[in-house]
Structure 1
Amino acid sequence: MNVVGPDTTFLSRLAASTVEVDTSSRRLAEYSYDASNYRLTPLAVAFPRTPGEVSEIAALCHDSGVAVVARGGGTSMAGNAIGRGVVLDMSRYMNRVLSIDSATRTAVVEPGVVLADLTAAVQRCTADQLTFAPDPSSKNRATVGGSIGNDACGNHSVRYGRTGDHVVALDLVLADGTRLTATRTGLRATDPADITAAERATALSAELRALTDGCLAAFRLELGRIPRQVSGFHLANLLPENGFDVARALVGSEGTCAIVVGAIVALVDVPRSTLLLIVAYDDIVDAARDVVTILKYSPAAVEGIDEQIVSTMKARRGQDAVADLPAGHAWLYIDLDGEDDATVARHARELMGDLDSHGRARECREVRDPVERAKLWRVREDGAGLSSRLQLADGTAVMSWPGWEDSAVAPENLADYLAELRLLLMQYQLIGVMYGHFGAGCMHIRITFDQRTPAGRQLMSAFLTDAARLVVKHGGTLSGEHGDGRARSQLLPEMYSPAIMEAFARFKHLFDPANILNPGMIVDPEPVTDNLALAAIPPLPWQTTFTLHEATGSGASAFTEAVQRCIGVGRCRSHSSGVMCPSYRATGDEKDSTRGRARVLQEMVRGARTVQEGWASQDVQEVLDLCLSCKACSSDCPTGVDMATYKAEFLDHYYRGRVRPVAHYSLGWLPRWLTLTAGAAPLVNAALASPLRSAALRLGGLTTHRVLPTFASRGQLRRELGTPHTGTSDLVLLVDSFTKGFRPEVAGAARRVVEDSGHRAEVRTDFCCGLTWISTGQLRQARKRLTRTAATLDDGTDRPIVVIEPSCAAALRKDLPELVNSTSAQRVARRVRTFAEQVSAQSSRGWTPKIALPESVTVQTHCHEYAVFGAATQRDALAAIGIGRVREATGCCGVAGNFGFERQHYDVSMAVAEQALAPALRADPGAVVLTDGFSCHMQARQLTDTPTSSASLHLAQILDPRSEIQQ
């Protein structure tokens, strides 16, 4: 490469520009990675707001010979969204849908708009008649600009093709800052009054025509041969028969020729009727052999997965996550669509009959229910993340990686290619999990490469070379939608002739003669095993208080491997579906995403210059500040990143020998303070209702804006619980610190509900789950309490331990065995259930409530219950007792234990509440609000401005035989 290094003058000029630029070590750590195997530390990260600001940065970098890398959602699996120069994050501000025209069936967008947001905007504007077609599995965080850069496709590419098929025009910034527009018929100045740009467009057009005229035969013979031929530049679009389509020639150029600052994209009709078929097979190759037959029925999608993904999904998310799949070892998802249900159903019957005649399919299921469809599609869409940590048949876990995750052949060649590829994997003693776009012949195969050792990297390089030769043998392409990037550009000569490789180099040079735009992609690449993120990580002894069950035998410490679970797929950057990551949804800043935090932690464990202080790292402390410790990432993240645990571990080390924030004592030690306030509750409540309130809250590091709970006395709790039982019991009802101290009425209701079903409960009020100490990183204190809890509750019985507060139940289920690594702790953890689970269990044995139930309920599931016990725990309990109208506020409430009470976090806490809970409360103000979690209860009270417990209720209160709720 010929990129000149920066000097201090450049950095000064960059800082003086009008563009928001960040050169902090923390920010550079966040942007040193994408979703690939690679790591490169940038010089700076810029957040442009307009095309003019992009032009300004490009011109500055051009003058100093500094590389520029345009980045969308950072979800590139080929390493084409990282670089050594200035990274332009187009997703932060340039993320608007500017206009939608139903008449012309087009939309004008900025490059940073997320695909799912564009689709939603189009469907709202056109009354669900039109949509934007490309739908990669990362559509809820991938951007239009990134999709243009890679020529992304998606699940329905059988019907709709690649992104390039939907590009009408591209607004560009060239390497020197010149602004041009590429159209379906050529190039022009974006601003017609810009004479210099107009002259550049004319000259560049002439050079591109000359390049094409000199390569007519090569372009026609080697380019555009199969549907998913994404590798290299798409120069066949410049051929005369294709109308000199410069816009589409630039799609898939990976930001190496120009920076896309705007686009006009085409829209397509939404099908009137759809039907999903799930077909099970004994073998993935058998499934591939049926693809040609399936394509005769003009499906919209034909997607495939193998048993490795399904077994991993089952191990990670439970049997229920894959219960709707028919029995088999490989599956095809076939989407049929049409004008009406009858026609689609007839095609489905004909197709199933055809498949039966071949004898390869084991079973076929029709799926029409939208909820069931979404659940099944999630198995496929989470494939990249799930398959990164494979669960093998013997129970062990192994890591798999991209690199050869994007090859494609013609659909009719897919089965033979997969059969030979499996033999190649066996030859190299590698495991490859297979999934992908079978209908387009495109395979996503993550492989168990060892990137940590020189021998492993050498084997990886050799395999990639042999795999490239194999796919070429079958008439295929190295990349089917992810681009070549750092992962495959070196291998392009295996696929293309010297004449085509020279044409690629000339094409790049015509647009970017200084080679500053994403250098090293497609043209003049570095070796595929250079700059691997897992290479050269020192074997540091990162001792942890948590027992992290993460190690896979590579020799790295458990904490190092745990934080390296993040592979950058970026699901945490989504603003829809699931719960994570509430702080990112509130701020839109990469540092507040689970991925951003994990990347800074990864820099910490490698001792990188960007984050050098280890457990004392200020960068890590800063990036974790807005983490709510909601634990949703441990469930929603396909790779299972548990940032709440990592944060607790880090804070425990960080504050050793340091003065902690006062809130760590006022809130972190809350169970201890509650034992004191229980004896003086009236005095405490009176003081907090007096002018002393504000001073006391400030002294404790707490916000003065929040409604406070009323402290309960010991007498209140005794009265609510009534007379203790003597003799035997078949259930332990654990009354936690929050319920004892603030909601004693819930404790009484819970006892009455479980005993109404015939149980005899042993009520325990003398245990602590240690949660407040865990969330503030005071792990030795937490372990001490949990050790005592485990020793006492492990009583030799298998009685269920029903915990009223879901966050405490989650701590006992998950944190207890990780902090107290004993068989006693594990036995206790297995017995723990939430109150909602207990209600479902009672209902399954025939118990029904003896009171009138509310007609409608708005549910705020506690994030810890969602993460540890499952997203449907509350919903299942309500369904079991017969409450039919349920509105779920699917998202974090924003309080999250101590977070929402801390002075510096109040504003973010309320912004998080606006993501789900506040809109749900406004949508049905008359509904009963179900908040089993104390944090959720307090936020609901805050939002409804009602300082009484009737603003929101625990499930026990709704079902209490003494309840006064009426229909």
Structure 2
Amino acid sequence: MTSPSPAVLDLVTSLSRSRPGLEIDVSSLTRAQFAYDASNYRLTPQAVAHPRDVDDVVAIVRQAHRLKLPITTRGSGTSMAGNAVGTGLVLNLARHMNRVLRVDDDARTATVEAGVVLDSLQEVVRPYGLMFGPDPSSHSRATLGGMIGNDACGNHSVAYGRTGDHVLELDLVLADGVRVRADSTGITAVDPADEQRVRVLERGLRELIQSHLAVLRTELDRVPRQVSGYHLHQLLPERGFDVARSLVGSEGTLAIVVAATVQLVSRPSLNGLTVIGYDDIAAAAEDVPTILELKPAAVEGMDQAIVETMRARRGEAAVGQMPEGNAWLYVEFLEDDPDLIAHKVAQLKDRVRAEGRAREVRWVTSGPERAAIWRVREDGAGLSAIGPGGIRTWPGWEDAAVAPDRLASYLRDFRNLLQAHGFDGVLYGHFGAGCIHVRINFTTDTAAGRDAMRSFVVAAAELVTSHGGTLSGEHGDGRSRSELLPLMYTPTVMSAFAQLKTIWDPDGMLNPGVLINPDALSANIPSAPPALPATFALVDDDGDLAKAAGRCIGIGRCIADTGGVMCPSYRATHDEKDSTRGRARALQSWAARADTPDTADGADILRTLDLCLSCKACSTDCPTGTDMATYKSEFLHQHYRGQMRPLTHYTLGWLPTALRATRWIAPVVNAMLSSRWVVRALPRLAGITSERRMPRFASSRSISRELAQVPRSGGRALLFVDSFTRGFRPELVGSAQRVLAAAGVQVELAPDVCCGLTWITTGQLGVARRVLRRTVRLLNRPAASSLPIIVLEPSCASALAHDLPALLQHDDARAVAGRVLTFDQALHTLADPEWEYPELPENGTLQTHCHEYATFRSHKQSDSLRGHGMTNLQEATGCCGLAGNFGFEADHYSTSVAVAGQALLPALDRSSESDVVLADGFSCATQISQLRPDRKPLHLAQLLDALLAERSAAPDQQPESQGRPVS
């Protein structure tokens, strides 16, 4: 990576004086992370600016204009076309400029800053019964500015059209720093001193339109999703010279959108989703014109590859609700009248059955089931990126559109084209609008592969235009398709586009290389990095850490503040370096040595990994299966090989060994850790925060007393007592033994072995392997080699089920992993069918351990609890923030508390003090006890043990625990 140019250094110096506090980052780490979006391209910027407000933007743009420094404006950075990367200055509006400024419920409008995320806007306007109509699948992280930049649509575009259909006014900063407002009738200057500048601009636009009236009327706006090129037709006289909407879809090449006023729509109270299964995706497309006659809100299509990938990655339960077929249409009606919805669904069934192509039609009425079905569709881009067998697919031709009545014939021709070029593709999209998304198994990391991709894309452009379609139906042209625009438009229209660019941006400083004078579509695509052999198996990635990190394709679900659990540290800091995506991108650059010498020593990678909690949530929440906890362990293992490590790698990483010693002197250790002098010295002596109370160590006597309750032989299952349970809360052992015995599960005590978790999370994989070899040997002893292994601590269960086979890579390890059960799983699968679960309190709060969430997702403790009477259960869906070593490390305390504040603490604060609090994980329970000392978290075994004791004490009476605390 080259150093920032003198112009960039000049800009930073100037702005540090004129705009104190404005952050402009020229570090190699940030530049590497912002070199990517969700496309195939990599262009490293010279600097990344995070403006706080419009005045910051104006100051930055004026200085950049003076220095002739190009600017690329960026929202969430999820562009699949490469329109959010550039080699000059990246202007990141999402960090700070993300407020909803005004809502006018009478006019049904909202004014927002460009960096506001769509879901955030939806939450603000929900109380008014309103919403923003277009809803791209990336709604949890898509910014309004980005949606305006590429004229985003979404799943319900049949009803609500494109973003441009809802834009009323834009607040803009021009390429020279002048502020203007554009609306449906023209442009006005924010500062009266700039009025003459604006008049010249408007006159140029009017003259351009007058000289191209005929061609703009015939070549633009021909199909519903014609996003390619500029929207000059919005300036036609019959459109009223709508400058605001003419700028929608201009991809940041004409002006910088800093705020927008948008039209809102009424939020329907009811929806009716019908899923139709077909043998073939083209057959599904044949039914679209008939379905559109019923005026649905959404008609979405999808082929079997996405469903197969979802099934392989998340289990049968994730797709079990899908009708029979190899392709599917989602048809949704949005209304306020349930009878009208029922009538339309009935009509739909009659019509598609009459057409004779559908295999099965299913009306989905359950809310959770409807959400699960939409999840399959919304995860399409990520799920299809890495399919079953590890086959990787890429964007590049993912966004073409035709008129809906041409869709079936286009799809057949397109599949023939794929076959002729030796490619395969995963097809899905907005069939009701004729828009097809496809990811193709290109080989992008070799010169020959890029040539083959280019040959195909050119042929595909010729094909879609022969069907009267558009190169882009939603994502914009970007670097993927701008070069192909002359295949779609005549030279006259292309000349008009070029003139428009000159009128708005005479020096070509805004997002150069896109739309006008574009770079070649096969340029700026990185080659394959050299392989990085890994200690972890990384089976799906050929044992290659570089390939594994390459799983991240920039979809950006990890930078969403809602949904799932990842990425807790990003949600705390909103810094790209603390997201799963930011870490993966840094690892990709480091693996490719693209940033040598800046990151050759790995210092930047340590920075971006520092706040990774190793929660493992990304391994499940990320649609591509990016597993940053594993990559972090692998990197730390390689980086510190033969070197001194951070202090906590010894003090906390070797905790299981320390616990073997402290049990004999537990009273002394506990007394020392209660001394304020010792506590103050902990950061310096052990790297441990002084902000926390240390958990009390269990004595040898208490450990022996609890273990003595479990037989040493003769069981139908092994009770695995992990280091945390043995060393800090051995009372769980007796509770678990009594509950399992009551349930008819005869257990015996597993050998005193360790899961190796603390060595794994600190990247001491050599030690972890040695520990785990012994664990496998003793758990596979002949007398017990077939017994299920019940593990009380979820993180240890996860380490045995997931990390153990990945590290040891042999059949004995895989056999042990396959026998592991959490305590709740054991009750579900091993208990006597006649055993009656004790009646649970109605009210409770559950903190699910992140590792349990990630590794044992097919079985949810929350389902068990609700099914056995805890009907008013609230689940704190999010990381507790302690996360093993993380929350005890001196530099991480504040982040740990901030993460707890995302889900756990609000859930506790919403609950009554008398409600049961369940937290099976030692870290989760410790965090709750320390941050909410008035709440006593219980392991499920402790709750059930207490309830069974009550039932035993009063066998002829109804349990009195209903709705009251259990301790």
TM-score normalised by length of structure 1: 0.96
1:468–1:494 contact (8 Å) kept in structure 2: yes
- Matched with 2:412 is 419
Q: Deviations over 1:493-533 (max 9, x none)?
A: 11110001111100011000000000111110011110013
- Matched with 1:922 is 909
Give the deviation of 1:963 after TM superposition: 4.7
The question of 1:806 aligning with 2:797 is answered no
The 2-side partners of 1:868 and 1:253 are apart by: 43
- Matched with 2:96 is 93
Residue type at the aligned position of 2:881:
G
Q: Number of residues paired by the alignment?
A: 943
Q: Deviations over 1:866-913 (max 9, x none)?
A: 011117521122134333221000000000001011111000000000
- Matched with 2:123 is 120
- Matched with 1:848 is 836
Structure-to-structure mapping, 1:132-281, within 5 angstroms: 132-191=132-191, 194-195=192-193, 197-281=194-278
Residue aligned with 1:504, SS = helix
Larger mean Cα displacement after TM superposition, 340-349 or 954-963: 954-963
The 1-side partners of 2:670 and 2:248 are apart by: 65
The question of 1:484 aligning with 2:477 is answered yes
The 1-side partners of 2:8 and 2:130 are apart by: 50
Residue type at the aligned position of 1:59:
R
The question of 1:905 aligning with 2:900 is answered no
The 2-side partners of 1:852 and 1:619 are apart by: 53
Identify which of 883, 892, 902 aligns with 1:896.
883
Residue type at the aligned position of 2:74:
R
2:842–2:869 contact (8 Å) kept in structure 1: no
The 2-side partners of 1:499 and 1:441 are apart by: 27
- Matched with 1:289 is 286
Give the deviation of 1:696 after TM superposition: 5.1
Residue type at the aligned position of 2:464:
V
The question of 1:966 aligning with 2:961 is answered yes
The 1-side partners of 2:342 and 2:825 are apart by: 39
Change (3 A) 1:386 1:623: same
Identify which of 530, 543, 549 aligns with 1:539.
530
2:15–2:59 contact (8 Å) kept in structure 1: no
Residue type at the aligned position of 1:609:
D
The 1-side partners of 2:144 and 2:718 are apart by: 54
Identify which of 842, 859, 863 aligns with 1:876.
863
Q: Deviations over 1:206-230 (max 9, x none)?
A: 1111100111111010000111000
- Matched with 1:49 is 52
- Matched with 1:821 is 809
Give the deviation of 1:846 after TM superposition: 4.0
Structure 1 residues without counterparts, runs of 5 or longer: none
Residue type at the aligned position of 1:683:
V
2:839–2:869 contact (8 Å) kept in structure 1: no
Identify which of 622, 625, 629 aligns with 1:637.
622
Larger mean Cα displacement after TM superposition, 199-208 or 573-582: 199-208
Residue type at the aligned position of 2:40:
N
1:604–1:611 contact (8 Å) kept in structure 2: no
The 1-side partners of 2:380 and 2:832 are apart by: 34
Change (3 A) 1:610 1:208: farther
Q: Deviations over 1:217-265 (max 9, x none)?
A: 1101000011100000000101000000010000000000000011000
Residue aligned with 1:568, SS = coil
Give the deviation of 1:833 after TM superposition: 1.4
The 2-side partners of 1:8 and 1:577 are apart by: 40
2:530–2:546 contact (8 Å) kept in structure 1: no
Percent identity between the two aligned chains = 53
Residue type at the aligned position of 1:647:
K
Q: Deviations over 1:585-619 (max 9, x none)?
A: 001111111001111101100101266544x3110
Residue aligned with 1:172, SS = strand
1:865–1:871 contact (8 Å) kept in structure 2: no
Give the deviation of 1:298 after TM superposition: 0.6
Residue aligned with 2:241, SS = coil
Q: Deviations over 1:35-91 (max 9, x none)?
A: 100000001000011111111111111111110000000010000000000000000
Q: Deviations over 1:93-152 (max 9, x none)?
A: 00000010001110010000000000111113x1xx111111100010010000000000
Identify which of 770, 777, 792 aligns with 2:756.
770
Larger mean Cα displacement after TM superposition, 475-484 or 727-736: 727-736
Residue aligned with 1:710, SS = coil
- Matched with 2:41 is 38
The question of 1:346 aligning with 2:343 is answered yes
Q: Deviations over 1:782-819 (max 9, x none)?
A: 11101111122124533211111000000011100111
Residue aligned with 1:403, SS = coil
- Matched with 1:579 is 565
2:709–2:737 contact (8 Å) kept in structure 1: no
- Matched with 2:925 is 937
- Matched with 1:463 is 456
- Matched with 1:71 is 74
TM-score normalised by length of structure 2: 0.96
The 2-side partners of 1:840 and 1:880 are apart by: 11
The 2-side partners of 1:724 and 1:112 are apart by: 58
Residue type at the aligned position of 1:707:
R
The 2-side partners of 1:828 and 1:351 are apart by: 51
The 1-side partners of 2:823 and 2:109 are apart by: 51
Residue type at the aligned position of 1:833:
L
1:29–1:611 contact (8 Å) kept in structure 2: no
1:26–1:610 contact (8 Å) kept in structure 2: no
The 2-side partners of 1:284 and 1:601 are apart by: 38
Change (3 A) 1:627 1:723: closer
- Matched with 1:647 is 632
The question of 1:502 aligning with 2:495 is answered yes
Residue type at the aligned position of 2:158:
V
Residue aligned with 2:218, SS = helix
Residue type at the aligned position of 2:81:
A
Give the deviation of 1:7 after TM superposition: 6.8
Q: Deviations over 1:173-200 (max 9, x none)?
A: 0000011111011111123xx22x2112
Identify which of 851, 860, 867 aligns with 1:864.
851
- Matched with 1:403 is 396
Change (3 A) 1:41 1:767: same
The 2-side partners of 1:691 and 1:582 are apart by: 31
1:648–1:777 contact (8 Å) kept in structure 2: yes
The 1-side partners of 2:501 and 2:831 are apart by: 67
The 2-side partners of 1:885 and 1:672 are apart by: 41
The question of 1:550 aligning with 2:537 is answered no
Identify which of 630, 653, 660 aligns with 1:668.
653
The 2-side partners of 1:501 and 1:56 are apart by: 33
Residue aligned with 2:181, SS = strand
- Matched with 2:31 is 28
The 2-side partners of 1:691 and 1:512 are apart by: 64
2:114–2:257 contact (8 Å) kept in structure 1: yes
Give the deviation of 1:13 after TM superposition: 3.3
- Matched with 1:737 is 723
2:181–2:187 contact (8 Å) kept in structure 1: yes
Change (3 A) 1:220 1:5: farther
Q: Deviations over 1:301-359 (max 9, x none)?
A: 11111100000001111111111111211111111122310111011001101110011
Change (3 A) 1:444 1:682: same
Residue aligned with 1:815, SS = helix
Residue type at the aligned position of 2:666:
A
The 2-side partners of 1:869 and 1:199 are apart by: 65
Structure-to-structure mapping, 1:304-343, within 5 angstroms: 304-343=301-340
- Matched with 2:954 is none
Q: Deviations over 1:825-856 (max 9, x none)?
A: 0111111111121122246834323x442221
The question of 1:436 aligning with 2:422 is answered no
The 1-side partners of 2:842 and 2:874 are apart by: 11
Change (3 A) 1:726 1:741: closer
- Matched with 1:387 is 384
Residue aligned with 1:141, SS = coil
The 2-side partners of 1:726 and 1:468 are apart by: 71
Change (3 A) 1:524 1:5: farther
Residue type at the aligned position of 2:743:
S
